[in-house]
Amino acid sequence: MSDALTERDLAVLALERRSWDGPGTKERAIREQLGMSPTRYYQLLNALLDDPRALAHDPVTVNRLRRLREARRERR
């Protein structure tokens, strides 16, 4: 594993930090800015949440998303 996050990883985290207005806005940004499907985006995002480098880079965003993920798991 490399010491640094990739440009794509950094872009995913940056996109996740933003707030989104209406339905579909985020999905459109994922397609236009990152050139990937929302499904692939969320796969990459979930992997990043378990990556200590992502936590070191953006602890506020990663910890917030980890809490949300854990809450969803507990509701199942």
Q: Where do we find the tokens 């999905």? A: 27
The verdict on residue 31 lying in a domain is: yes
The set of residues, in sequence order, having a beta carbon less than 8 Å from that of 63 and lying 6+ positions away, is 55
The set of residues, in sequence order, having a beta carbon less than 8 Å from that of 10 and lying 6+ positions away, is 57
* Best CA proximity match to 67, nearest among 26, 55, 8, 15: 55
Write out the residue range of the structural domain in which residue 19 sits: 7-75
The verdict on residue 2 lying in a domain is: no
Q: How far apart are CA 28 and CA 4, in angstroms?
A: 27
Q: What is the value of pTM for the model shown? A: 0.88
pLDDT per residue rounded down to tens, the chain (76 residues): 568 999 999 999 999 999 888 889 999 999 999 999 999 999 999 999 999 999 999 999 999 999 999 999 999 8
Indicate the number of domains in the chain. Answer: 1
The verdict on residue 36 lying in a domain is: yes
